[in-house]
Amino acid sequence: MFNIPTKTPQDYAREALTSINSHAVNCLENKKANYQTAFNLVWKPANCTPQDIFDLMGTQAIELFLKAQIEAQSIIALDPTWVPPMPADVGYPNYAINADGTVTAGDYVDPNPAPIQTP
């Protein structure tokens, strides 16, 4: 006759804890990826400019920044080494959030200009 080993409650708890930790890591990585995707949709859109998006949002554009700030803070709370992408990283160092809630993207400035060649 075979003696089938049985799991103890501690064995099940250990397995659950491994799954919980794995899930937490995956959730954090997903949050970071989603933040980057949303950032790219706003600041690096394929067929329009960020200003086009802000113009369409009107006085509600500020909400985008408030929500992004909350999301970034929640990620940093879990991973203090994470640095969120910034508009200047993709060529918009001079954006402005206006008093009425609208946003002005400012002029595009190449974040990676070609080096100046000397003769």
Residue 2 has pLDDT above 80, yes or no: no
Q: Is 69 within 8 Å of 75 (Cβ atoms)?
A: no
For the residues 1-17, what does the mean pLDDT come to? 86
Lowest mean pLDDT among 23-27, 38-42, 64-68: 23-27
What average pLDDT does the segment 1-16 reach?
Answer: 86
**CA nearest neighbour of 83 among 35, 22, 23, 30:** 35
Average pLDDT (46-74) is: 97
Read off the pLDDT band of 1 (50, 70, 90): low
Of the pLDDT bands very low, low, confident and very high (cuts 50, 70, 90), residue 113 is confident
